[in-house]
Amino acid sequence: MVGYRPMTMDAAGSRMKRGIVRRSLFPILSVIGAALLISTMVQTALGQPPELKWEKTFGGAGDERGLSLLEGRDSGLIVAGYTGSKGAGERDVFLIKTDKEGEVVWERTIGGPGRDEGWALVETSDGFAIAGVTDSGGSGKKDLLLVKTDAEGYEKWKKTYGGAGDDWGVALLYTRDGFIVAGVTTSGESGGSDGWIVKTDPDGNGEWEVVIGGSKDDGFSSMVEVEGGYVLAGTTESYGAGGKDVWLVKTDLQGERIWEKTFGKGSDERGNSIIDLGDGLLVVGVTEDLASGGRDLFLVKTDYEGEKLWEKTLGGTGDDGGMGAVVVAGGIVILGHTDSQGMGSQDLWLLKVSFEGDELWEKTFAGTGFDLGRSIVSTKDGKMAVAGWTKSGGSGGEDLWLLKTQKPK
Q: What backbone phi and psi angles, to 5 degrees, belong to 319?
A: -95, 125
Asked whether residue 385 falls in the same domain as residue 268, the answer is yes
Asked whether residue 114 falls in the same domain as residue 34, the answer is no
CATH of the domain at 254: 2.120.10.30
The total number of structural domains that make up the chain? 2
Residue 235 contacts residue 247 (beta carbons within 8 Å): yes
Asked whether residue 153 falls in the same domain as residue 8, the answer is no
Residues composing the chain: 409
Say what the pLDDT of residue 293 is.
61
Asked whether residue 153 falls in the same domain as residue 280, the answer is yes
pLDDT digits (tens, 9 = 90+) for 56-100: 999 999 999 999 999 999 999 999 999 999 999 999 999 999 999
The parts of the chain modelled with pLDDT lower than 50 are 1-29, 31-44
Q: Distance between CA 363 and CA 4 in Å, rounded?
A: 53
Say what the pLDDT of residue 121 is.
98
The DSSP 8-state label assigned to residue 91 in this structure reads B
- For residue 23, give its domain range: 1-46
Q: Distance between CA 409 and CA 404 in Å, rounded?
A: 15
Asked whether residue 276 falls in the same domain as residue 261, the answer is yes
Asked whether residue 104 falls in the same domain as residue 13, the answer is no
DSSP calls for 233-270: EEEESSSSSSS-EEEEEEE-TT--EEEEEEE--SS-EE
pTM listed for this prediction: 0.88
Asked whether residue 84 falls in the same domain as residue 38, the answer is no
Say what the pLDDT of residue 408 is.
77
Asked whether residue 276 falls in the same domain as residue 144, the answer is yes
Asked whether residue 290 falls in the same domain as residue 306, the answer is yes
Say what the pLDDT of residue 109 is.
98
**Bridging pattern class, strands 384-390 and 399-405:** antiparallel
Asked whether residue 192 falls in the same domain as residue 205, the answer is yes
Asked whether residue 68 falls in the same domain as residue 145, the answer is yes
Asked whether residue 5 falls in the same domain as residue 57, the answer is no
Say what the pLDDT of residue 286 is.
97
